[in-house]
Structure 1
Amino acid sequence: MAMVVEGLGKKIEKLTTKLEVAKATKDIPYPNGVIRAGTVAGQHYEWTAWVDGAPLMVYHFYWTMGDDIEPRWDNGDSCYRVVIEGDPPLEVRLMGGVEADGRRPFLGLPWTALVGVTAIPQVCDARPGVITHLDLGVVRPSGLVRRPGLSG
């Protein structure tokens, strides 16, 4: 959030946080066990960056172990969603494509890793210290184009 706010030429004055949890309304099986009814099966985190005395940016993160939770947040399909309330307004959704079996997996972890891995050459060439995308400029991934049907 700081990188985006600083990229807009501002500084965060304060950062506020909220946490809301959801409980399982029934047992929820998952590959490593069972989330028991009545225990935590979801989390909603909210961070708000305040600039010039008002909220400028709000980040929401939802994590759930299924649909059988209370409260049930209406956050739609698993995706990254960016909403900009401005003139003109803008909304962008990044979500996995539909697989052959009809599933639409959330690929947040591979996408996150992809950004870091493709930035390695620019990070190695950068000055020492903490750097951000603002310092690196446009990261140019290479070696990602493959002929259809080939893997690796």
Structure 2
Amino acid sequence: MGDALGVTFDEIVCEPEYAATTADVDLGSWRIDAGCVAGIATSWHGRAGGRSVVELRTVWRKGQTLQPDWPIDTGHRVVVDGRPRISLRLDVAPPPDFRGTTMSDFMRLPMILTAMPAVNAIPQVIAAQPGIVTYADLLPLPRGLVTVS
């Protein structure tokens, strides 16, 4: 992200928080005993100029009995603190005609989502010079738009 924004980070920091389950969690093929870690909330910060320029936060949890009981918000949230401030909510959901009944049916949806960037990059990859390329080489980038002070 720093490269894509044209920002050199002074540091990249990972800040994890852990949650324990207050009751046994039976996941079918395995279990998590009460008192054991069953959730993690992690923030990665790309810092420059004394502030977090980029932050990625994820929350993963197993079961409904965590302490602390972090809420799970589905989809993705992107916030750009600028003028104007932009807040984007991107939800990924099955289409209205979806009739999944098995875990395999439901797992197809994130597999399609995972494949979409690679499939959509095919024209740029074909047009690219020989060698190794990254997203930063293939996509239009907002370099030079972030001010670090």
TM beyond 0.5: yes
AA aligned opposite 2:57: H
AA aligned opposite 1:114: M
Matched, 1:62 2:59: yes
Q: State the secondary structure of the residue aligned to 2:115.
A: helix
Q: Alpha-carbon deviations, 1:101-122, whole Å to 9, x = none? A: 8xxx795554233213432453
Which of 81, 84, 87 matches 2:77?
A: 81
AA aligned opposite 1:20: E
AA aligned opposite 1:61: T
Q: 1:64 to 1:51 in 2, by over 3 A?
A: same
TM-score, scaled relative to structure 2: 0.71
Matched, 1:6 2:3: yes
Match of 2:117 in 1: 115
Q: 1:10 to 1:133 in 2, by over 3 A?
A: same
Which structure has more relative contact order (CA 8 Å, sep 6+)? It is 2
Q: State the secondary structure of the residue aligned to 2:92.
A: coil
Which of 40, 43, 46 matches 1:49?
A: 46
AA aligned opposite 1:87: R
Unaligned runs of 5+ in 1: 139-152
> How many angstroms does 1:52 deviate by?
2.5
Tell me, in whole angstroms, the C-alpha distance in 2 between the residues paired with 1:123 and 1:29: 45
Tell me, in whole angstroms, the C-alpha distance in 2 between the residues paired with 1:109 and 1:69: 28
TM-score, scaled relative to structure 1: 0.70
Q: 1:126 to 1:19 in 2, by over 3 A?
A: same
Matched pairs, number: 131
Q: 1:124 to 1:79 in 2, by over 3 A?
A: same
> How many angstroms does 1:24 deviate by?
0.9
CA RMSD of aligned residues (A): 2.7
Q: State the secondary structure of the residue aligned to 1:115.
A: helix
User: Percent identity between the aligned chains?
Assistant: 32
Q: Alpha-carbon deviations, 1:78-136, whole Å to 9, x = none? A: 211111222211111222336668xxx79555423321343245335433554332311
